[in-house]
Amino acid sequence: MSKVSIIMGSKSDFPVAEKAIAILKKFGVRYDIAVASAHRTPGRVEDLVKGSGSDVFIAIAGMSAALPGAVASFTVRPVIGVPVSGTMKLDSLLSVVQMPPGIPVAAVGLDRGDNAAILAVEILSLQDPELRSRLCEYRLEQADKVIADSEKVVADAGC
């Protein structure tokens, strides 16, 4: 059974979903993915959420991005919203962040499918020590990269 369900408001959101998929694959977390629009197919959103056995949802949407909030309205499991950047940028960001009291959505930055997946893995790691140790390794990998980048910048600058 999937641990994370990714729902996109449109197929056009797939490039953002791909970032989440890459992280979930890296951590060996089972996931499923579907397209369901809060405005165009509200009943499908409800069916998908209520029929899902996943522990965490990642909802990806742009423009008037109601999808993460709609997903949250059908479950008490954590929902991570990913605003997709369009021409206006702030529209989707504010739509995801500005939830009314009582129905929270954890919002990540514009197009940050990767961060949504990392946050999902962090939530799952609360009950999974193996996942937690992989997260610690991932942090070390990032730190090593910063140090390597710094050394390269210094070398390239001829300091």
Candidates 59-67, 96-104, 109-117, 133-141: pick the segment binding ligand RP5 (CB under 6 A).
59-67
Q: Does 62 bind ligand RP5 (CB under 6 A)?
A: yes
Q: Does 10 bind ligand RP5 (CB under 6 A)?
A: yes
Q: Which is nearer to ligand RP5, 62 or 69 (CB)?
A: 62
Question: What angle do helix axes 113-125 and 14-26 make, rounded to 10 degrees?
Answer: 40
Q: Does 13 bind ligand RP5 (CB under 6 A)?
A: yes
Candidates 7-15, 48-56, 100-108, 125-133: pick the segment binding ligand RP5 (CB under 6 A).
7-15
Tell how strand 106-107 and strand 31-35 pair up.
Answer: unpaired
**Nearest-angstrom CA–CA distance, 65 and 53:** 24
The Cα-based distances of 148 to 26, 34, 145 in angstroms read 22, 38, 5
